Amino acid sequence: MIYLRLFFEFFQTGLFSVGGGLATIPFLTDMGARTGWFTSGELADMIAISESTPGAMGVNMATYVGFHMGGIPGGVIATLGLICPSILVILIIARFLRRFRQSRGVDAVFYGLRPASTALIAAALLEVCSIALVDLSALFGGAVGSAFHWKAIVLAVVIFLCMREKHLKKLHPIVFIAASAVVGVLFQF
């Protein structure tokens, strides 16, 4: 039964998360809350690991959750659930797009998908920030001083500023990921 539920949950996520891996985060947040398969802290860890390992972020997270819940078969089933909608949609589009390539309706659909995927990515950004940079429960509970994860905020600002420098932009993203990992380890001491 867990395998069917994994497939169904990730099929829904794959069907509606237009915009790539970051767009899956709001769906995964909801999934974790509904199913209890993972906490918001575990989701933050999944995001960090998925971003720093090869492969598509959404697929990496589906594989992780599936493996966590059902071993190797669970990982495979969750991953298939996530990618099946994309494959089906691409096959359907490829079949009909040649006929409707100049269609105003098709253009309108793609025009509508752009802001939707932007909103999903923005929601993911806010979710990640609320997990990694601010403890919202402490903030709303009145403990303003302890609500902010100052080390994480400083690290995020430094990485953001580094990415604005032309000569640093030329560095491979793995350099920033590795540097952030080293700083994270150092922050633990």
Confidence of residue 101 (pLDDT cuts 50, 70, 90): low
Confidence of residue 174 (pLDDT cuts 50, 70, 90): confident
pLDDT surpassing 90 at residue 79: yes
pLDDT at residue 39 in the model: 87
| Average pLDDT of the segment spanning 164-174 | 82
Residue percentage of the chain with pLDDT more than 70: 97
The two three-digit tokens of residue 94, written as one number: 């490829």
Least confident stretch, 21-25, 76-80, 96-100 = 96-100
Alpha-carbon distances of 189 from 149, 152, 182, 184, rounded to whole Å: 15, 14, 12, 9
User: Is pLDDT larger for residue 165 or for residue 144?
Assistant: 165
pLDDT surpassing 80 at residue 165: yes
Q: Which of 108, 106, 46, 44 is nearest to 78 (CA)?
A: 46
How far is it, in rounded angstroms, from Cα 62 to Cα 126?
21
